[in-house]
Amino acid sequence: MKQEIIDQTKKLAKDYDIYLQSTEINEVHLEKNRVNFANKVFDSGYGIRILKGGIGFSASNIKSDELIKKTILNAIKSAEMTEKVKFEFPKQGKYPEVEVVGRRIKNKGEQAVQEYAEQLLNEMSKDVLLSFGKVRSYDSFTNIINSEGLDVQKEDTNFMVELSLIVKKNNVRMEFWPHEYRRRMQDLPMERIKKWIQIANDQTIAKGPKTEQTTVVFSPEVVLDGLGTVLGSHATGSAKVNDVSRLAVGEKVATDELTIISDGLYPFGLGTSGFDDEGVAERKIPIIEKGVFKGFVYDQFYALKDNTKSTGNGLKQSDVFFMFDGKYGMEPGNQISNFYVKPGDASYEEMIEDIDHGILVEQFSWMDPDAITGKFSSEIRAGYYIKDGEIAEPIKGGLVIGNIFDMIQKIESISDKSEITSASNVLAGVCPYISFRDVQIAGK
């Protein structure tokens, strides 16, 4: 079928790229502290970009000769109706070796997912109801071919856990709904599940915070959603070319503690790959180094518009949630790969010990800063007071109000370990805990 798609595309178009993907998905659904059902799904399809004046795109998961031809013609029609652009598809390159395959998922995905689900259920205590849950693995094969002779292939795995935890205590009912993604199952160990259960329990006795300006510590997930959303957007060639970036090369934008890299090579990172979704080799690109902005990341389109070369940052990703299967149905866009924040010098424990009074935010209800202005006003979903250098009583509700551009100039400390993480808005990160001074809390 691959050859039929290539042959028909060659007959109908001169300049093209073809993105082929097939994915095995193993999933266990959980309900009311038990396994509800398990299933295996195979998803495959192809996306075709055509350059004919403009760039047209069409995709399908139906592989009959008639539908293949229709998909190609739709892409051609789209290209002819689109504004003419300066563009060429990338040529074959040299590609780094990367670690993106989890052995348990690759070798025994169905069994491994079921075993993980059983372990997870064993962690549920009698006062915690697992209202709903999913444990899911992905094993994907991708092949990109274009009219410039490029032909690259890869395999990668991914793993997802999503839970709805309900705790009832003292006539209080609290729901906590975590979901996270990793490349390997062992990167979401049972200790992580236990932490979610503890947070769910703590929220039944949580009180609202008071109004004040204080030190605030962001968890790695919150760092990714906050800094990743804003700085990740402004560091793209797209933002530069469209004149919406607030960043300028050589400008001091943050405290010396902050170093950020678009790291497409980080072992088992969610954004790691030997090549991006256009077939350009991925790499490590410095974004901010000791507080100074170093440069932009580019896909092929914006690199050509800015008279430079792609940095391997043409990625097919959802704006909200990860999409590991069905990526063939999406066009590549200009994005950071793994949003890597370099760890600092203090351990997490030392960071907390140095805070006389503050707030730790483990999770917001929805951390959704304005990607252009950096402003946000987000409700605390799960947090804790910090008092006299110790984690104190849990809090929820109230708002943390700020601006990411201002906050990165008020960094107090960065923990000495960065961890692979996923978040609601930004798809792939490797982030530490970060504390910020003088952050506004709107509460009682």
Flag whether pLDDT at 426 surpasses 80.
no
Q: The tokens of 63 are what?
A: 């592989």
Element housing 37 (H / E): strand 34-52
Asked whether the beta carbons of 334 and 298 are under 8 A apart, the reply is yes
Spatial distance between the Cα atoms of 172 and 45, rounded to a whole number of angstroms: 47
Return the closest-CA partner of residue 158 out of 134, 178, 182.
182
Distance CA 342, CA 179 (A): 24
Could you tell me where the beta strands, DSSP code E, fall in 53-169?
A: 54-60, 128-146, 151-169
47-87 per-position pLDDT tens digit: 999 999 999 999 999 888 899 999 999 999 999 999 999 99
> pLDDT band at residue 358, thresholds of 50, 70 and 90?
very high
> pLDDT tens across 227-256, in order?
999 999 999 999 999 999 999 999 999 999
Convert the pLDDT of each residue in 25-44 to its tens digit. Answer: 999 999 999 999 999 999 99
Q: State the Cα torsion 291-293-298-304 to the nearest 10°.
A: -170
Q: Model confidence over 281-308: pLDDT tens digits?
A: 999 999 999 999 999 999 999 999 999 9
pLDDT at 323: 60
Measured between alpha carbons, how far apart are the two ends of the chain, in Å?
A: 63
Dmax over CA atoms of the chain, in Å, equals: 72
Q: CA-based angle 202:206:210, to the nearest 5?
A: 145
In DSSP notation, 174-229 reads: EEE--EEEESSGGGS-HHHHHHHHHHHHHTTS-BPPPSEEEEEEE-HHHHIIIIIH
Query: pLDDT averaged over the chain?
Result: 94
Question: Around Cβ 410, how many Cβ atoms within 10 Å?
Answer: 16
Of 68-77, 297-306, 359-368, 407-416, the range with the lowest mean pLDDT is 359-368
Residues 363, 174: Cα–Cα separation, whole Å: 15
What torsion do the CA atoms of 417, 423, 428, 429 make, to the nearest 10 degrees? -20
Which domains are delineated in the chain? 2-202 (3.30.2290.10), 206-444 (no CATH)
SS3 293: strand
pLDDT of residue 125: 80
| pLDDT confidence of residue 322 | 53
- Give pLDDT, residue 95: 98
Q: 0.85 cut: is pTM over it?
A: yes
Order of all β-strands in the sheet with 419-421: 292-293, 284-289, 260-263, 339-341, 429-431, 419-421
Residue 319, pLDDT above cutoff 50? no
Of all helices (H) and strands (E), which one includes residue 11? Answer: helix 2-12
Inter-residue contact 58 to 74 (CB < 8 Å): yes
